[in-house]
Structure 1
Amino acid sequence: MKKINLIVIIALVMFSCKNETKTSDVNLEENRAKSYDQNDGLVTLKGEFVYYGDAAVLQTPKEIYGVVIDDNLQLLEQQVKAFKKEATDMVPVTVRVRKFEKPEGEEGWPFRVEIKEILKVEAPNPESKDVIKLAK
C-alpha cells in the first residue's frame, strides 16, 4: 500500500509541474509554423536589418539579401529607429518575406526579399564588438 501511495504522489508531482515558455518564443514559433503551414510562398527570416540612404539590407547568419523599398520597409524602419544610435547601426529583426532572385543585369546580392509582415524587432546586443566605423 505504501508503494502505491508513493507512486501516486510521484506521478502527481511530475504531472503538476508547469512547463513554462516565454510568450514571445511561442509567438515566434507560431509565426514560423504559419510560414510553413500556409503554403503562401512566404518565408520567416531572422537577421540584422539596416536601411541607409537608398539601400536596405537584411543579413542572416547564412546569407545577405537586398530588401525591396516599399511601405512595409518604411514601417520597419520606423520601428527600428528606436534602437539605433547611429544611422548605420544594424538591428535584429524577424520578418516574413517573399524571396526572389534579383533582376538580370542589376548589381547587388543574388536574392532580394520583399517584407510582407514584421514579427519582431529587438534591441541590438550592446556587448557586440563587430562594428566598423569609417573616418573622414
Structure 2
Amino acid sequence: MKNLFFVSVVLFAFLSCKNEARSKEVDKDVVTDGPERTAKQSDGLTLLKGDFVYFDGAAVLQTHANIYGVFVTDKMHELNKLVQPYKKVPTDMIPVEIRGKITDKEDDVILWEQKVEIKEILNVFEPKKENNDVIELGS
C-alpha cells in the first residue's frame, strides 16, 4: 500500500514538471519586436478607452484603471468638438477611444501624475443612460 502511494506521488510530481516545461517553451515563442508587428504597434502610441471631459481649460481622460491629464492641443480641441453633441451639461464625461503618447514628465499646467497627448481619435460613443452619475448642488 505504501509503495502504491509513493509511486503515485512520484508519478504526479513527474507529470506536473513536464507540463511546466511545456509552458515555458510556449513563452519563448512570444515575440514583442519583429517584422510581424504592424506600423501602429511600433509607433509608440497607446490605445486608451475612457471618459473624456474638457472644462474650464482643463482636459481629463478617465480609464478603468487610471486618470490622465490631457495636453491641450489641436487634436484635443478636435475631440472636444466631437463630444459636444453628447453633452447635456459642460461637465459631462463622454466615452471615447483614442491613441496617444503617455508621459509622466513634469508639467506646469497639468498636475496629474500621468499625462497623455492625443495623436489619433478613433471613436466617440454616446454615453449610456444608466451611467448618469450627475450630482447637482443648489437649486
Give TM-score scaled by structure 2 length: 0.67
**1:16 paired residue number:** none
Q: Cα offset for 1:34?
A: 5.8
1:135 aligns with 2:130: no
**Runs of 4+ more than 4 Å apart:** 104-107
Structure 2 unaligned residues grouped into runs of 5+: 1-36
In the alignment, the residues of structure 1 paired with residue 130 and residue 119 of structure 2 have an alpha-carbon distance, to the nearest angstrom, of: 31
- RMSD of the TM alignment (CA)? 2.2
**2:76 paired residue number:** 73
1:50 equivalent among 35, 49, 53: 53
Give the % identical residues. Answer: 46
* Paired residue total: 103
Cα deviations by residue, 1:83-104 (Å, 9 ceiling, x for unpaired)? 0010000000000000001416
Structure 1 unaligned residues grouped into runs of 5+: 1-32
In the alignment, the residues of structure 2 paired with residue 40 and residue 59 of structure 1 have an alpha-carbon distance, to the nearest angstrom, of: 23
Secondary structure of the corresponding residue to residue 103 of structure 1: coil
Give TM-score scaled by structure 1 length: 0.68
Query: Higher Cα Rg: structure 1 or 2?
Result: 2
1:123 aligns with 2:97: no
**2:42 paired residue number:** 39
